Amino acid sequence: MPLFLFSLLLHAYLALRLIPDLSAWPIAQGVAGLTLLASTVMLPLGLTARRFKSPLLADRLAWTGMLFMGLFSSLFVLTLLRDAGLLLAWGGLALAPGAFSMAAAGAGSAAAVVLLGLLFTVAGFFNARRTAAVVRVDVPISGLPAELHGFSIAQISDVHVGPTIKRGYLQAIVDVVNRLEADMVAVTGDLVDGTVADLAPHVAPLSGLKSVHGTYFVTGNHEYYSGAHAWIDELNRLGVRVLMNEHVVLSHGLVLAGVADWSAGHFDRSHRSDPHAALAGAPADAPVKLLLAHQPRTAVAAHQAGFDLQLSGHTHGGQFWPWNFFVRFQQPFTAGLHRLESLWVYTSRGTGYWGPPKRFGAPSEITYLRLLTAA
C-alpha cells in the first residue's frame, strides 16, 4: 500500500502539471490521462510481481510495470525541466509584459514533454532489447612480455537475467562472444535478478561460452539479492570459474584475480571484498596482474594491492538519460577506460539492463579488450 500511495502522489504531480495544458488536443489529453492512470497502478505491481505464484503472470506484470517505469522516469524528469523553464518564462514576462503567451508556452511545452517521453521510451526499448554491440579496447601495459602482446579478454557484465531477460537474450550474447575467439571470458557481476530455482534454465547458455582459458565470474550486488551461494554453486556447475577473493595463473604468468562485490561483506562476512587477499601467494614477478571487480570503486584498493588492470561494470553507464550524469556521485568512473595512477580501470556500460527495458544515451556493450605492450 505505501508503494501504491507513493506512485499515486508522483503520478498526480504529472497529471496536474500536464493534463490541463493539453486541452487543445482532447484525444491526446484523454490518452495521456489514461496512460498516467495505468502507470499509477502497473508500476508498483511490476515492482512486486515476484509475489505472484504464477510465473507467467509475474513475468507479464513485471514486463508491463517496467515499461511504465521507463516512461514515467522520462516524463517525470522532463516535467521537472518544463516547470523550471516555465518559471523562467514567468520571470521573463515580469520583465517584458506581453512578450509571448504563457498559455501557449504551457500548452506547447506539455505536448513536447509527452512526445519526448514517448520517443525516449520507444527508442530506449529498441536499444535495450537488441543484442549488445562489440566495443573494442586496447590497453597498453608497461613491461608486457611479447608472449602476452595481444592477449584478448571478452567481457560481459550486468546482464540481469530475470523477469524481462531470458534464455534467448543471453544465448545471443554468448553467440557474439564465441565469434570473438578471445583468450578468456570475464563476467563481471550482476548476471541475475532472481533465484536459481527460477532462472537456472535461462542462465544455462553460459556453459556454451568458448575461449582459450575459460570463463571467470565475480559476484555483483544483485547476486546477493538473489541467493549468492546458490548461484556460485550453479555457475561452477556450468563450468564458469567463480573467483572469490582468489586468483589463478594463466599463460606466460598472467595473474587473473577476482573479488566479491564491494558490498558483499554486508551479506556474508566471509565474502568481504579484498584485492590484497586475492593476490595472496601470486608470483611476485607476474608480468600482468588483472582484477575482476564488479564495482569501479574497488579501484583504490586494487591500486594499493598492485594490480595493473581492473575490469568492472555496475554503472550501466547510467542506462538512460539523464541518470548517466549522476553515476559519478556514487562511482569514480561511469564508463570506458580510465587511469588511477598506475592502474588501468575499464568500466563496462553493461551487456543487458536493469529494471525498465530502456537504454538511451548509454548503449549496452560486449567488450573485447586486448593487452598491448606500452610504447
pLDDT of residue 99: 74
Mean pLDDT per 10-residue interval, the chain, length 375 residues = 91 96 94 96 90 87 95 96 93 79 90 96 96 97 94 98 96 98 98 95 97 97 96 97 97 95 94 96 94 97 97 96 88 95 97 96 97 89
Q: Are strands 184-187 and 215-217 parallel, antiparallel or unpaired?
A: parallel
DSSP 360: B
Task: Give the model's pLDDT for residue 167.
Answer: 97
Q: What is the pLDDT of residue 326?
A: 87
Q: What is the dihedral of CA 352, 235, 311, 131, to 10 degrees?
A: -20
| Placement of cell 520507444 in the chain | 122
Cell of 344: 588501468
Query: Whose grid coordinates read 563481471?
Result: 188
Q: Strands 255-258 and 246-249, how do they pair?
A: antiparallel
Element housing 134 (H / E): strand 133-141
For 253-290, give one letter per residue: b (16+ CB within 10 A) or e: bbbbbbbbbbbbeebeeebbbbbebbbeebeeebbbbb
Return the pLDDT at 81: 96
- What pLDDT does 3 receive? 87
**Domains of the chain and any CATH numbers:** 2-128 (no CATH), 133-373 (3.60.21.10)
Per-residue model confidence (pLDDT) at position 47: 86
- Greatest alpha-carbon pair distance for the chain in Å reads 77
Return the closest-CA partner of residue 108 out of 124, 86, 80.
86
> In whole angstroms, how far apart are CA 184 and each of 180, 208, 218, 254?
10, 13, 14, 12
Q: d(Cα 284, Cα 25) in Å, to the nearest integer?
A: 72
Q: Is 195 exposed, middle or buried (0-12, 13-18, 19+ CB in 10 A)?
A: middle
Q: What is the pTM (predicted TM-score) of this model?
A: 0.92
The answer to whether residues 370 and 152 touch, using CB atoms and an 8 Å cutoff, is: yes
| Per-residue cell: 185 | 571470458
Rg of the Cα atoms in the chain: 24
Which of 270, 264, 323, 326 has its CA nearest to residue 298? 264
